Structure 1
Amino acid sequence: MAQTEEQRCIPRELPEMLKKFARAAILAQPQDLLQFGVDYFEAVCRGESSPVREQSEQVSLCNWAELTPELLKALHSQVAGRLIIRADELAQMWKVLKIPTDLFNSVMNVGHFTEEIEWLKFLALASSALGVTIARTLKIVCEVLSCDHDGGPPRIPFSTFQFLYTYIAEVDGEISTSHVSRMLSYIEQEIIGPDGIITVNDFTQNPRVRLE
């Protein structure tokens, strides 16, 4: 007998799957949404953490395409350790690096920044344009902030990671505060050593650390 409309049910995973795809598409701003969808779900099937091709494959990401981790690192160097920077000063740095102004305005709007900007928050939101997933966003931020040159994985103080993860999850709006607290508690108790440092590998290669 043919299945009636009433007998059909929504697969349990579908709402969350579509929500993640919508978030990725909004961040990436692809010119070809259908092709982006194909790339996205193929990557999901392969189990990749970041379902967007690398820029080296020359996939158009609209306004985000001209932003790179290297440019973010250049900006961080110019900020020179300050926690707060004036918006007009940062805008001028942005302009000198020839990054699209509308991208700067987008980050300003998302972060609700005004005349004075908390640099780490701005950096986190700018990195999210490249990261798509929270883990990849934090990886990019960690690479920008890390000052190590010994060839090991990039690393930052756990306190900085805690601040960034909490902020990004809050802006994302899809991750419960209880989940964030559980992950931070696990990382602090089971991973972080006496030096108080976290490496990229600690949160990207540990299967028990699920930031989303």
Structure 2
Amino acid sequence: MPQTDKQVCIPPELPELLKQFTKAAIRTQPPDLIQWAAEYFGAMSRGEIPPVRERSEQVTLSNWAELTPELLKVLHSRVGGRLIIHADELAQMWKVLNLPTDLFNSVMNVGRFTEEIEWLKFLALACSSLGVVS
């Protein structure tokens, strides 16, 4: 490989960006890191809250996060004011946040949702599951 006299310039914001990303990935423990990273940087580029679990939301005994008001806020911000969201898109958001699949399916069944989901109805049903111990 030939040497060049060109120096590589590292953008000054890169080290902090990578540090914050790494911390978020460690806290969130996404099942699919590549997909989660795409969601993370996509949200950042749009000025949205990235799909990150806060320290207080970390789960030590399970691979699945517990649904919290904070995670519902993240979901709500990701929906971005739309009244209707496609089931596949919402399922992906749910997965990225590492939330329990059985809870998603339960909300889908109770709401009798199909491909197009009324977001506020879904949100209300998801809120009703907060604090419920299974």
Query: If the length of structure 2 is used for normalisation, what is the TM-score?
Result: 0.49
Name the TM-score, length of structure 1 as normaliser: 0.31
Looking at CA atoms only, which structure, 1 or 2, has the larger radius of gyration?
1
